[in-house]
Structure 1
């Protein structure tokens, strides 16, 4: 299996990846095809696909913030079971991020991820792909060491229509065993940076940020 980076919407592998995204994710979570042009050309956004016998069987997008020394996993897609796609993507991604942190003269602090909570919303189908089932994914992420940040999380819809997307937790994977909370200031600055591309922020998101700005720390709790 190959771990190939995509840096252009003209890459034939990107079309396959985008079709895979539309198959497994809700529509409000998928950026339109043409709007991917600038993100793919951004050196800070890393999009890789798992390719087996010429076919795109999985994908992951993530980024590393040098000034925060944290990463964000935007998404991970696994198209079918029994091939070790998830483990392959996770291992390759972590190795790449650790290398980026080392180039920055640091050891990676951890990695954010938005994690679906099927106990809040039970109608996520993800194209009927069982490895993408939110119950399965949540348990896998828990085994990997992800924690959930202790606040009610919403995010702006990627349709940029000002709607709030609920039914998720903001998770964090600490790279040290003794990290039980995060600075609220880090979370606020990260979220503002991450969603700066979407000008239409829902009121619920703005209120969430305002509440976080009144805190010093946010606890990391089990998934």
Structure 2
């Protein structure tokens, strides 16, 4: 299995990548094909695919914010079951991320991730793949050490229609021993930076950020 970075929508593997995303994720989580052109050229956005016999069988996208010393796992897709794709992607992603942090000469405080709350989201099929079932994915994140932030989370739709997307938790994996909370300022700053790409945001998102800016800290709770 090969771990290959995608940096252009002209890459023959990108079509497979995008099709797999559409199979697995609901429409509001998938950026339109042509809208990927600019993000893929951003050196800070790292999109990799797992390729087996010429077929894209897994995807992961992540980024590192050097100024905030945090990373974000945008998404991970395991497109085939029983092939060890999940562990392969997790290992390769961590190796690449640590190399990026080391090259920057900085520290990695931790990594954010969004995860569907299966108790709130019941209708999504996620491509019929049990490995992508939100109960399974949530347990995997928990085993990796992620905890959810103590806030009512909402994010703007990637369909760029200004709608709010509910049913997710914002989680964080800390690399600092004994860290059980995050500065609320860091969380709000991260969210405002991360969602700069979506100019049309729902009022619910702005209200969430405003509430964060009135807090000092945000607790990290078990998933």
What does residue 74 of structure 1 align with?
A: 74
Asked whether the 8 Å contact 1:8–1:41 carries over to 2, the reply is: yes
What is the distance in 2 between the residues matched to 1:198 and 1:158?
Answer: 7
- Secondary structure of the structure 1 residue equivalent to 2:105: coil
**1:70 Cα deviation (Å)?**
0.6
Asked whether the 8 Å contact 1:68–1:186 carries over to 2, the reply is: yes
Cα distance per residue 1:22-69 (max 9 Å; x no partner): 000000100000000000011110000000111100000100000011
What is the distance in 2 between the residues matched to 1:134 and 1:220?
Answer: 20
What is the distance in 1 between the residues matched to 2:94 and 2:182?
Answer: 20
What does residue 163 of structure 2 align with?
A: 163
Runs of 4+ aligned residues of structure 1 deviating over 2 Å after TM superposition are none
What is the distance in 1 between the residues matched to 2:51 and 2:170?
Answer: 29
What is the TM-score when the length of structure 1 is the normalising length?
0.98
What does residue 185 of structure 1 align with?
A: 185
What does residue 29 of structure 1 align with?
A: 29
Asked whether the 8 Å contact 1:115–1:169 carries over to 2, the reply is: yes
What is the distance in 1 between the residues matched to 2:127 and 2:103?
Answer: 38
Asked whether the 8 Å contact 2:66–2:106 carries over to 1, the reply is: no
- Secondary structure of the structure 2 residue equivalent to 1:131: helix
What is the distance in 1 between the residues matched to 2:191 and 2:35?
Answer: 20
Cα distance per residue 1:150-198 (max 9 Å; x no partner): 0000000011111100000000011133110001111111100100111
Asked whether the 8 Å contact 1:80–1:130 carries over to 2, the reply is: no
What is the distance in 2 between the residues matched to 1:149 and 1:124?
Answer: 23
What does residue 202 of structure 2 align with?
A: 202
- Secondary structure of the structure 2 residue equivalent to 1:114: strand
What is the distance in 1 between the residues matched to 2:97 and 2:53?
Answer: 26
What is the distance in 2 between the residues matched to 1:213 and 1:107?
Answer: 24
Alignment of 1:46-195 (within 5 A): 46-195=46-195
RMSD: 0.7
- Secondary structure of the structure 2 residue equivalent to 1:72: strand
What is the distance in 1 between the residues matched to 2:152 and 2:85?
Answer: 31
What does residue 38 of structure 2 align with?
A: 38
What is the TM-score when the length of structure 2 is the normalising length?
0.98
What is the distance in 2 between the residues matched to 1:67 and 1:73?
Answer: 17
Cα distance per residue 1:192-218 (max 9 Å; x no partner): 010011111100000000000000100
